[in-house]
Structure 1
């Protein structure tokens, strides 16, 4: 079984929405790294030297490759990444090897049997 790593940078108030959507489309788990900071094409505003940017989270999901594109697109739609600038981004990376995922594989096999 092959995997992809979906990386999502998202405003912290949309993290739960991203997690729920990903699970609904077949993700079996995620790691959330809180308090990330990002900068896009427009520099963050400041007031008296204090940053006014919203807090971001990084969501990492190791997903089966046949489900990855569907999960990626569903997360982008749910969080409105393409509709609202600065909301967040998501991308996927090929994973060459993964260990410690045996329990996920057992849950994924029935989901993807028809696709492999």
Structure 2
């Protein structure tokens, strides 16, 4: 099996929508890391203190055939067409361990989808 990872840094108020949309498109789960980010826009200041928007980095480990559909769902749910809402990108995954209990489920999904 070939796996890919989608990383999607998004604003925290969009996290649940993005995860729900990804699951509806075929993702089986996600890992979420709290973070801070900086972008093209300067951070807002208030009495000399910098106010930074919190960001969640959502990680999805997917079989390769699910990537396009899940990525599109993330884009729509995250409203990436609006500036500053988030991005998503795909990385190759060389090796995976710890999925032994899920391999049969992956095979079932593939059989059901393609046979």
Residue 89 of structure 1 aligns to a residue whose secondary structure is coil
Gaps of 5+ in 1: none
> What's the CA shift for 1:24?
0.7
Q: How many residues align?
A: 114
Q: CA RMSD in A?
A: 1.6
Give TM-score scaled by structure 1 length: 0.89
Deviations 1:18-41 (A, max 9, x none): 11111111111111111x111111
> What's the CA shift for 1:78?
1.1
Gaps of 5+ in 2: none
Which residue matches 2:110? 112
Which residue matches 1:46? 45
Quick one: which of 79, 84, 93 aligns to 2:82?
A: 84
Which residue matches 1:22? 22
* C-alpha separation in 2, matches of 1:51 and 1:106: 49
Deviations 1:31-56 (A, max 9, x none): 1111x111111121111222233211
> What's the CA shift for 1:11?
0.5
Give TM-score scaled by structure 2 length: 0.90
Task: Judge conservation of contact 2:37–2:53 (CA < 8 Å) in 1.
Answer: no
